[in-house]
Structure formats: C-alpha cells, structure tokens
Amino acid sequence: MKKISLLTLLIVFTSQASMALFEVRAGYGILASKPNLSGFYGGTLPTYAPNAGFTLDAIATVPLVGIGGGLRIENMKISNDTSVIEVENQLNRTSLIVNYRLLNTLIYLGPIFTYGLNHSNSIKISSGGTDLSKISSSSVSSYSLGIEAGASLLGFLVGAELGTMNMKYKNAKDSINTSQSGDLDMSGSYAKIFVGFGI
C-alpha cells in the first residue's frame, strides 16, 4: 500500500513539475518552399533546396488550461548553386505563437499556430561573383499550422514540430532589373527540433 502511495505521489509531482508556465526553447528547422523565380530570371536555375536555420521561442502557458502564447524568431537561409548560377535566399521572421497542449504531463502534444508579425527577406541570383538579380518584398504575409510533441522533465524539454507554412511575397521587386516585379509564393512544409527549459 505504501509503495502504491509513493508511486502515486511521484507521478503527480513529476507531472505537475513538467507543466511549465513559461518556456524558452531553441531549435533548428527547414522550410521546403520552392518559389518560381522565372519572372525575375529567364535562364536555368539550380534545383531549389529547403531553407534551413535557427528558431528561438518564448511561450507562456495559462495554468490548468493548456493554452499558450508567445513569440517566435526565425533566421533561415540557403544557397543553391550549379557550376554557373548561384541562388542565395535569406529570410528572417518574427511571429506570434498560439498553442494548445492536449497532453501536458511528462510528454506534451498539441497543435501550434504562428502568425507573422515582421519579415525581412532577400533572394540573390549571381554568376561568377556578379549579381544578376536582388529580389525582396516589403509586403510579406505568413502563417503556419503544425503539431508539436516532446518530453519535459524537471524543467528540461526536447521536442519536435511538423506542419505547413503559408508565406507570400507581394509585389516583390528586383533592385538590379528594376522593371522586374511580381508575387512569389514561399509556402511549404516545415519541420523543427527543439531543446529548452521551462519554469
């Protein structure tokens, strides 16, 4: 009987301890977007690889409810090249996070949503060190929807996130070929892994 009581207390204690009210976590992920750049460059381009980079999240959770909110900062880039042409993409994004933990004990699981608040972006096409196009947009909209899962014990957590991101560059312009402009679709599936801590 005493063994059962001790086990029950241990489960309750570790479960409650894992329900952090505030989390900070760092991650690394990819965004598998494949924008159509033919409107800016008429030649053959290298196969577009996923953007990759770092993420930093800060999330506060409402006690006993499981709903959380916070901010996410992402810095992603990629360089694709052939023997002739190189395409470099740089993307920085700050977004609002809303998540809901369906399960939040030693393990956590639930949907997560982000909405882009601020973006900076550039796509550069070059050949032999000479820039052919420099594309950017001052009007970017983005949101993502995914599922997060992981484990948390005594304040430390590891996890992963999978989902899809909708990101549009409206009226993107080429600062070299100023007559070139158009919309770019940077949407795609994404995946992230995280480590962090909660209090």
Is there a contact between 141 and 167 (Cβ–Cβ < 8 Å)?
Answer: yes
**Are 68 and 62 contacting, i.e. CB atoms less than 8 angstroms apart?**
yes
Please state the pTM of the whole predicted model: 0.86
Q: Which domains does the chain have, with CATH numbers?
A: 2-198 (2.40.160.20)
pLDDT tens across the length of the chain (199 residues): 544 454 444 444 344 444 678 999 999 999 999 899 988 888 888 888 889 999 999 999 998 888 999 999 999 999 888 878 999 999 999 999 999 999 988 999 999 999 999 999 999 999 988 999 999 999 999 999 999 999 998 889 999 999 999 999 999 999 998 888 899 999 999 999 999 999 8
Q: What local confidence, expressed as pLDDT, does residue 179 receive?
A: 82
Predicted pLDDT at 42: 83
Q: How far is CA 122 from CA 42, 71, 90, 104, 136, in A?
A: 18, 23, 5, 39, 5
Predicted local distance difference test score (pLDDT) of residue 19: 61
Residue with tokens 């329900």: 19
Q: What is the pLDDT of residue 22?
A: 94
Q: What pLDDT score was predicted for residue 28?
A: 98
Q: Of 134, 118, 121, which is closest to residue 174 (Cα–Cα)?
A: 134
In angstroms, the Cα distances linking 178 to 123, 145, 173, 182 are 14, 35, 7, 11
> What is the C-alpha to C-alpha distance for residues 7 and 5, in angstroms, rounded to an integer?
5
Q: What pLDDT was estimated at residue 44?
A: 85
Cα 141–146–151 angle (5° rounding)? Answer: 135
pLDDT of residue 11: 41
